């Protein structure tokens, strides 16, 4: 028979072992919490747009020349929630092999936003917030997918969502969504990593989006403040903008902000630039 002293020693060793196991478990938990992903972004191709006369965007420059645009939407994943920024041309356009042809534009939808969300294992019902740069059709085509999301729009733009007896069918399903009507810049998650910035001129309530990404660094999504690089260089104001002076003031404000933050501008319609930006299913960190 083992002595009481020996049993006590064995018990002490066992207690130390269990304590060590408990400590290891706690450490692992802390390590898992540390490894929780921070801010991440998925970029989606949500339409091809052939502009038949690019001087529409830079008055008097390159008249009669066509230019290929892309169209981009983004899913921003933050530990406190998910935000979709712009939703592209409507998914239904994908059914038209020849696209939608008009005197100014030829628009096609090679890949639906729905299929691209599914491709990353994501459901539109999981989105917490939806914000669009403005209400033009190439940015709101799939807003109806996000009926559970809180809408984040400048108050002028929100006023245009449901105007008239027959709301735009692209947004009609959101009429009962919660909404925050903005009157300026808005820090979405309260930590300065995802900030909507007021930038009127293209429309009365146009806005852009700043992202402070942990690996890529600070990035600003242009909305339609600029449409392509030369448009930015020339400070070109599209002929259909609602306010030229407000557009130029917004350009000045955003250019100063880009310099202050040493941020990269992602021009959402710039086909050449967007080819160099990873798109879903690849994640941007």
| Domain residue limits, the chain | 1-36, 37-274
pLDDT at site 192: 97
Q: How confident is the model at residue 36 (pLDDT cuts 50, 70, 90)?
A: low
According to the model, what pLDDT value does residue 161 have? 85
SS3 153: strand
CA distances from 242 to 105, 129, 228, 237 (A): 20, 27, 19, 10
| pLDDT tier for residue 6 given thresholds of 50, 70 and 90 | very low
> How high is the pLDDT of residue 166?
63
Nearest to 236 by CA among 73, 90, 109, 55: 55
pTM confidence score? 0.85
**pLDDT surpasses 80 at 215:** yes
- Whether residue 281 is preceded by a cis peptide bond, meaning omega within 30 degrees of 0, is yes
Output the average pLDDT for the chain: 88
pLDDT at residue 158 greater than cutoff 60: yes
Q: How many other C-beta atoms lie within 10 A of the C-beta of residue 228?
A: 24
pLDDT band, very low/low/confident/very high, at 22 (cuts 50, 70, 90): very low
Residue 271, token pair as written in the block: 């086909």
Does 69 have pLDDT greater than 80? yes
How large is the average pLDDT for residues 68-85? 98
The answer to whether 225 and 250 have CB atoms below 8 angstroms apart is yes
Range scoring the smallest mean pLDDT among 16-30, 66-80, 94-108, 251-265:
16-30
| Confidence tier at 203 by pLDDT (50, 70, 90) | very high
- To 10 degrees, the CA torsion angle through 57, 58, 64, 69? -40
Q: 263 to each of 96, 167, 171, 258, how far by Cα in Å?
A: 38, 37, 32, 5
- Among 95-104, 165-174, 193-202, which stretch is predicted with the lowest mean pLDDT? 165-174
Is the pLDDT confidence value at 186 over 70? Answer: yes
HEC sequence for 128-149: CEEECCCCCHHHHCCHHHCCCC
> For the residues 21-39, what does the mean pLDDT come to?
45
Measured between alpha carbons, how far is 210 from 67 in angstroms, rounded to an integer? 27
Report yes or no: 36 and 79 within 8 Å, Cβ to Cβ.
yes
pLDDT digits (tens, 9 = 90+) for 230-279: 999 999 999 999 999 999 999 999 999 999 999 999 999 999 999 999 99
- Average pLDDT of 68-86? 98
What pLDDT score was predicted for residue 9? 42
Q: What is the pLDDT of residue 164?
A: 64
What DSSP state is assigned to residue 29?
Answer: H
Q: Taking residues 101-112, what's their average pLDDT?
A: 96
- Residue 165 pLDDT grade (very low, low, confident, very high; cuts 50, 70, 90): low
Predicted confidence at residue 169, as pLDDT, reads 81
- On whether the 37-274 domain is CATH 3.40.630.30, my answer is no
DSSP H helices in 94-214: 113-119, 137-140, 155-159
CA torsion 251-257-261-264 (nearest 10°) is -10
pLDDT beyond 80 at 142: yes
pLDDT at 35 over 50: no
pLDDT in tens, 109-120: 999 999 999 999
């Amino acid at each position: 028979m083992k002595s009481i002293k020996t049993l006590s020693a064995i018990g002490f060793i066992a207690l130390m072992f269990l304590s060590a196991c408990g400590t290891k478990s706690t450490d692992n938990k802390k390590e898992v919490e540390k490894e929780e992903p921070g801010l991440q972004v998925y970029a989606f191709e949500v339409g091809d747009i052939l502009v038949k006369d690019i001087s529409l965007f830079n008055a008097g420059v390159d008249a009669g020349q066509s230019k290929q645009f892309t169209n981009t939407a983004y899913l921003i994943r933050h530990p406190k929630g998910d935000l979709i920024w712009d939703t592209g041309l409507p998914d239904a356009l994908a059914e038209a092999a020849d696209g939608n042809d008009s005197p100014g534009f030829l628009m096609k939808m090679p890949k639906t936003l729905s299929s691209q969300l599914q491709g990353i294992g994501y459901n539109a019902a999981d989105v917490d917030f939806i914000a669009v740069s403005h209400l033009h059709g190439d940015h709101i085509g799939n807003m109806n997918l996000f009926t559970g999301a809180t809408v984040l729009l400048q108050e002028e733009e929100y006023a245009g969502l449901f105007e008239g007896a027959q709301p735009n069918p692209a947004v009609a399903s959101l009429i009962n969504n919660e909404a925050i009507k903005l009157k300026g810049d808005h820090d979405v998650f309260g930590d300065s990593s995802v900030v909507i910035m007021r930038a009127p001129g293209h429309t009365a309530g146009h806005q852009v989006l700043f992202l402070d990404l942990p690996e890529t660094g600070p990035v600003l999504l242009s909305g339609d403040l600029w449409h392509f690089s030369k448009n930015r260089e020339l400070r070109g104001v599209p002929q259909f903008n609602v306010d030229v002076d407000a557009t130029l003031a917004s350009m000045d404000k955003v250019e100063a902000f880009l310099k202050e933050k040493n941020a990269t501008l992602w021009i959402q319609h710039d086909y050449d630039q967007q080819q160099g930006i990873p798109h879903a299913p690849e994640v941007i960190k």
